[in-house]
Structure 1
Amino acid sequence: METPDLRALQYGLDTFYFVICGALVMWMAAGFAMLEAGLVRAKNTTEILTKNITLYAVACLMYMLVGYHLMYSSPEGGFLPSLGFLIGDEHSVESVLAGGADAPYYSARADFFFQVVFVATAMSIVSGAVAERMKLWIFLAFAVVMTGFIYPVQGYWKWGSGFLNEAGFLDFAGSGVVHLCGASAALAGVLLLGPRRGKYGANGQINALPGANLPLATLGTLILWLGWFGFNGGSQLKMSTVEDANAVASAFVNTNMAAAGGLIAALLLARLIFGKSDLTMALNGALAGLVAITAEPVTPSVLSATLIGMVAGALVFGSILLLDKLHLDDPVGALSVHGVAGIWGLLAVPLTNADATFAAQLLGIVCIVGWVFVASLLVWGLLKVLFGLRVDAEEEYTGVDLAECGMEAYPEFTRKA
């Protein structure tokens, strides 16, 4: 039988675990910044770093003001969330020590912190896809709406016990709620924005616009890989029991193996098809494996998790090539990594979790993509009509660093290309 002292100890342990996992996920903001800074051209580095650190601050502010309430204070089983403000009160000592099924087992502030870093992750996905040609303040205006309203609505449908949760849709740590959401918003922006100048020729040829700093992109991928342990392991929500501790360990190991599988699959395909060991494909393969296993990192065996990651790596390799042929310009591969791999991860859940059904998973995919894409398209479209989305041709040629930020990341070495 649990005593008040034991409940207090478990509450403290689970809260500590939760905030440390949240800190790991917050560190993923650095990973996205380094990855994107490495995969864009030198003349656009300062601007994309500015976007990444500012979108994190915007996400924190908007989710505190309105997003968290939308997502977690709305009717169970519902479709329309309840509008409200701020994040509510902390749990009382009495409620914790009372025990019972309704007793909280971690701090309410810890829950907010863990959730807000997920919102920032979804917005970071958009940043890379629209890089090198979008106006900075237009992007930040969209971030206000995305993090305050668009993301929380679909988050409520699943994690806030809305209708998708009632329908049996499973998404353990956010292949859909976070990654597919971010990719859907990015796709809407890419369609209205158009490709970078010079990316595609008049006769359909695809011109490479290589990133300026592959060591930085590799560092960013490794930071994301590390942060993902908090992303998936923290989504168990607690670890103070034997069952929870074992689930956390499974989430860590499976997350790691899916990333490894995705990297190897993408690198092998690049070698077979290109005749070269393409580093950028390897990096995106690892990220694809991480995205895919996020939907269910606990129930797969270690071998199954590796295979899920390998399929994701192969799918992303093909998707990146296909999107280029369709002239959908995505400088960092975000649409493929977070969209295609996110869909695959959600569809893979019934393969290892008997509680999942393909029908419920498809329903979740359709609802998330439908809501986020349409809402984002409307917001992007309104911003385009009112202010325009793109920098002008001369600013794009000289680089958005100078046009938007007035400084260069590499002033001694920047080449205009």
Structure 2
Amino acid sequence: MTIQTLHTGIDTIWVVLTAAMIILMEGGFALLEAGFVRHKNNVNIIMKVFADITIGTLCFYLIGFGLMYGKDAYGLIGTNGFMIKGDLSHLNFLISTDTFWLFQAAFVIAVISIVSGAVAERINFRAYILYAVLMTIFIYPVAGHWVWGGGWLGRLGMQDFAGSGVIHALGGFSALAAAMFIGPRKGKFTPQGMSTVSLPSNLPLASVGAFLLWFGWFGFNAGSTLSATDARIGHIAIVTMLSAASGGATAMLFTLFRYKRSDAPSVINGSLAGLVGITAGCAFVSDASAIVIGVVSGLVMLLATHWLEIKQIDDPVGAFPVHAASGIWGTIAVGLFATDNGFFTTGSWHLLGVQLLGLLVLCTWGFVLTWLSLKFIQLWIPVRSTEEEEEVGLDISYHGMVAAFQEQEFIKYESNYLHYKED
């Protein structure tokens, strides 16, 4: 066995393991979102996550990967590599193309899951499946090609190590477009524009989901080295931890002093915001910068949450504040704090300007293409569930069951289910 063969084998194990960690994050998404929504929609949340991981994987294999990482055409799109076939030597990795595909498939699953939470409790399940297809075969892969696949933004020098912009800002603005298109849940806002409280069904479940996401994020960020022998892995891991802790601590202390109570959903989302914020710069910034990035991520998440309430946009799990707002900040932070070419560290404006341009393009692309996709789907099937489906709950309406119930609730459940089926 040669040193090169051993090196390739170790890198392959590393990438497969970190890909598995990222795929496990889908369990985190499922628990987090199920905990934040009402009981009658828990099964629907789980089924949307399964749609992400099943249909999304197949679509990315058939078409998405080729558009994202195939041979570049004019800096805009990949032209080969569909079903991982053809000449992909331009990728120039030590690991096999199959291994690289698995890691990237884990990323595309995460993108569509961001949108899932923003439209929770009121999207037609069939419409969601169609949107998942469009996101994973076209919307995300094309944008990803521009930055990571040899496209024009990458050539300009945009730096996004693991996806604050490509995954989170794009996914967050896609979520915003979907939430605005589909409208708020029935009764979420009063005629006077006041927001009503919709209590989470299970905050301990949501917190476990957040911890699973936190765990998987080490694979998300450190795994993006694509090499087990990359000396940056330890640093990437520690700045990931510091930013997550800073984001959660900021939300905890802010709500404690502002409202005289520490708000659990805000703390959960604050930690996730810190993770999103550091994702772009985890290989480029110092420990101290990571703490600053985490603190600001927590604050912008809180501000974005308040902005949604003012604009009467219903986002049950905080997908836009966590992913879009913090993703924007994290991508900008690279231009400010990067040890090479950062404005605060070197005085150079170039990288910051490229980051801002890239964000404008990615956010606009995600928002506009999602809106157009939903308009297209609306031509064939309703995007939103009916009032009756929403009232009964999407679990019974689309899946014919509920997540859990006490024995004394069985007769009530059976009666509602049979009544709905008869109608």
Question: What is the TM-score when the length of structure 2 is the normalising length?
Answer: 0.91
Change (3 A) 1:108 1:81: closer
- Verify: 1:216 aligned to 2:205, yes or no: yes
Counterpart secondary structure, 1:386:
coil
Question: 2:252 matched to which residue of 1?
Answer: 267
Q: What is the rounded CA distance, in whole Å, between the counterparts of 2:254 and 2:73 in structure 1?
A: 45
* Contact persistence 1:76–1:161 (CA under 8 A): no
How far does the alpha carbon of each residue in 1:129-158 deviate from its partner, in whole angstroms, 9 at most, with x for none? 000000111001100010011110000001
Q: What is the rounded CA distance, in whole Å, between the counterparts of 1:229 and 1:77 in structure 2?
A: 34
Q: What is the rounded CA distance, in whole Å, between the counterparts of 1:305 and 1:231 in structure 2?
A: 16
- Verify: 1:380 aligned to 2:374, yes or no: yes
1:135-146 aligned within 5 A: 135-146=124-135
Q: What is the rounded CA distance, in whole Å, between the counterparts of 1:209 and 1:129 in structure 2?
A: 14
Q: What is the rounded CA distance, in whole Å, between the counterparts of 1:29 and 1:300 in structure 2?
A: 28
Residue from 373, 393, 403 that aligns with 1:399? 393
Q: What is the rounded CA distance, in whole Å, between the counterparts of 2:356 and 2:240 in structure 1?
A: 23
Q: Which amino acid aligns with 2:384?
A: R
Deviation at 1:104, TM superposition (A): 3.6
Deviation at 1:120, TM superposition (A): 0.3
Deviation at 1:277, TM superposition (A): 0.8
Question: 1:197 matched to which residue of 2?
Answer: 186
- Verify: 1:70 aligned to 2:55, yes or no: no
* Contact persistence 2:121–2:393 (CA under 8 A): yes
- Verify: 1:341 aligned to 2:326, yes or no: yes
* Contact persistence 2:14–2:228 (CA under 8 A): yes
Deviation at 1:85, TM superposition (A): 2.2
* Contact persistence 1:189–1:377 (CA under 8 A): yes
How far does the alpha carbon of each residue in 1:6-65 deviate from its partner, in whole angstroms, 9 at most, with x for none? 111111111111111101101101000000000000010011111111211111100100
Runs of at least 5 residues in structure 2 that lack an aligned partner in the other structure: 343-350, 414-423
Question: 2:234 matched to which residue of 1?
Answer: 249
Deviation at 1:385, TM superposition (A): 3.2
Q: What is the rounded CA distance, in whole Å, between the counterparts of 1:336 and 1:69 in structure 2?
A: 31
Q: Which runs of 4+ in 1 moved over 3 A?
A: 101-104, 413-416
Question: 1:206 matched to which residue of 2?
Answer: 195
Question: What is the TM-score when the length of structure 1 is the normalising length?
Answer: 0.92
Question: 1:302 matched to which residue of 2?
Answer: 287
Change (3 A) 1:103 1:373: closer
Change (3 A) 1:59 1:103: closer
Q: What is the rounded CA distance, in whole Å, between the counterparts of 2:243 and 2:77 in structure 1?
A: 35
Deviation at 1:351, TM superposition (A): 2.3
Q: What is the rounded CA distance, in whole Å, between the counterparts of 1:310 and 1:185 in structure 2?
A: 25
How large is the Cα RMSD of the aligned pairs? 1.9
Question: 2:361 matched to which residue of 1?
Answer: 367
Change (3 A) 1:305 1:264: same
Q: Which amino acid aligns with 1:133?
A: R
* Contact persistence 2:239–2:282 (CA under 8 A): yes
Change (3 A) 1:152 1:277: same
* Contact persistence 1:269–1:317 (CA under 8 A): no
- Verify: 1:85 aligned to 2:82, yes or no: yes
* Contact persistence 1:77–1:165 (CA under 8 A): no
- Verify: 1:186 aligned to 2:175, yes or no: yes
- Verify: 1:7 aligned to 2:4, yes or no: yes
Deviation at 1:84, TM superposition (A): 5.8
- Verify: 1:328 aligned to 2:313, yes or no: yes
Q: What is the rounded CA distance, in whole Å, between the counterparts of 2:189 and 2:106 in structure 1?
A: 36
* Contact persistence 1:254–1:302 (CA under 8 A): yes
* Contact persistence 1:79–1:162 (CA under 8 A): yes
Runs of at least 5 residues in structure 1 that lack an aligned partner in the other structure: 96-100
Q: What is the rounded CA distance, in whole Å, between the counterparts of 2:13 and 2:25 in structure 1?
A: 19
Q: Which amino acid aligns with 2:26?
A: A
